[in-house]
Structure 1
Amino acid sequence: MTKLSKQDKIDIYNKWKYYGKSSYQLGEEYGVVTSNLRYLFQLIDKHGLEILDRSPHSYSVEFKEKAIKRILTGNEAINQISLDLGLPNQGTLHNWLRKYKEDGYNVINHKKGRKSSEGQGQTNSRTSKANQRPKTEESRAYCRKQIYKKIGCLSLSKNQKPKAQEIVSAVTELRQELHVTVNFVLKVINSKPDLPHLSRSNYYYVLKHDDKDKKNKKIMERIKKIYEEHRHRYGYRRITAQLQREGIEINHKKVKRLMTKMHLYGIAIRRRRKYSSYRGTVGKIKANLIRRNFKSVMPNRKWYSDVTEFHLNGEKLYLSPIMDGCTQEIVSYTLSRRPVLKQVMDMLKQAYKKYPALNGLVFHTDQGWQYQNPLFQTWLKNHGITQSMSRKGNSLDDGMMEGFFGILKREMFYGFEKTFKSLDELEQAIKEYIEYYNTKRIKTILKNHTPMEYRNVILNQN
């Protein structure tokens, strides 16, 4: 595992706290185990960044003894105790507890540095074997108690007998926790009639048995490729749909299990305040003809539009798109550094050039000043388009566009702001995403088609 400097830890914490990066993404970037990063985040949240200034030092016997007693007698979680004490990592306390058991339940401050090489070769094998056996009757009783407890829980947690794989996993964990031999653990559990029994040969057979997902190697490779092709935007449901489109019969539960095993997770949702163009009543308000019945059975019957803003390095970029209520494609869009009327008028002209037969179309927006402008309303009327507006303060009345903005920003903007050096780069990224959204991103609501594929399906049916 990569050793992190103080500045690395601060950078990782800031990316997680303020830029929305997940612990898995940061672990991949810095080569650090995810659980260690989660502990680092909790440690800084509890003690502040000052905790990183603590220089490594030896803890006193009394300090260690109090910490260990909190584990053994206070029934407190080791992770929580480590956080309370401000220990640098969650493994420190585990090491203290292990050495405490090895040293006959006495806290000893071991000298640091390498042991003398003289005579080491003769004693290593004997010492390692001795450490594999509980030293006193008290320690043996403690080990037996822990074994009874762990193995007994396997039977209590289910109405049926535990599987051999579960018993083997528990035995392996007990070996590591208690530092005892396999024979000792198996002898203890096999001496109790009410515990599930396991032979030594069966233990090693199950331990070395091939991974059950070895036969799924090809499908796991394809899942990972789809995940990377779509830049981590697909969760298990959408990946299942894509596999089924390719003729692979697979259940979404299996895809979810395999993705979890490979630590592949979709992008987390982050919501931020939206841009509002409402300035009070500045023109003629239109009735709400949609009434949240967003879906249309044919293309070019219901269109939706709104304006959203992107903040980057103290500057703003405004996006104004039109979405079709049937295919959910982005019919046309414009980008501008200022929210001006020309932006929405150019958007309309682009859409009309693409689909000129618009008689009977309902065009729905919120009550933004652009949509109340006489020039905008006259253009719609002259092209046979009926205007519809959301009620004041009811953003859900324009829910289809709000949903698109949420998807867009979650999948290519939130958490990725640092990757864009200028508004020009951001503008290019938005253009590429909208092309991807229309032609490559499948939607379950469109029967696992992309918006453009669904348009062709609908038109071919009629």
Structure 2
Amino acid sequence: MKYSLEFKLECVKKYKKGIEIKKPDFANTSQKNFLNQVNFWEKIYDKLGVEGLKKNPRNKEWTIDQRLNIVKRFLAGEPTIKISLENNLNPSQISFWTKKYLESGISGLELNKGRPIMKSKILNDKRSRVSKNLNSKDQSNSLTSVYEELKLLKEELKHFKKREKNFEKENKLLKKENEVLKKWKALVEIFDSNQPKQERIKKIYNRVKADKNLRLTQVLKEFSIPISTFYYQLKKEDFDKKNEEIISQMKLIFKENKARYGKRRIKAELNNRGYKIGLKKVRRLMEKFNLKAICSDENTNLTKEL
């Protein structure tokens, strides 16, 4: 089925925006095959632009060596979409060459010079040949050749069914790998956050506990956390529970002053508010909750952390 350039561009734009695309009434194919075709157009558009969606010139000739190389890559298991994009070639053309190669070998890939023969004429020629073979003395040989052709077609059908199953398996594996990567990404974000160590470990433990596909030993190994340290931090009581009021006031002062107060100013402000606390304790709590004051140097226009 041939589609216009405007129709292809419209389908590609809808596909990129995530808009549902329905098979047109004039397309003699299924919805699934049509969406596969749109996916192919989108990849060609990303690689070659609008020129890639234009119809290939009919006078372009592929040598036997070029055709044979493409067929061998296809039979070796390379994805059809990859071969198509690299050679700006329609996937149906690759399937056609492969079929010819399986039927007749290299001779099936030879260039047919002259005007293309009409389908009706081809069918009539085949019928006349079959009738002549049946009426000839070599009837047994013709039956043998027909049997061999049927055998080759069956083998080809098995080959394509096997490839289809392999594609389905690869698709399922890719989906599983994508889900696993998302889970690991969430764990990495927790591990690299600025939260206290005990809180990070508790969040990692809850995430692993909620997901049956993740193993705790594997997660700890990836993040280089000893098991003893992990369970110690998990079971350890928070030493600063009694300082919750001071911590909340400290965070409030830090926020009110837009992260410009260091440990000395925060200590002085806490003392003004009636909290007796030492400078070392203020420094420890600020480090624990990642409260880093930033001040600017007007002369050098640099920033430093206090």
Shorter-chain TM-score above 0.5: no
| Structure 1 or 2: more helix by fraction | 2
TM-score (norm 2): 0.37
Which structure has the higher relative contact order (CA within 8 Å, separation 6+)? 1
| Structure 1 or 2: more strand by fraction | 1
Larger C-alpha radius of gyration, 1 or 2?
A: 2
TM-score (norm 1): 0.26
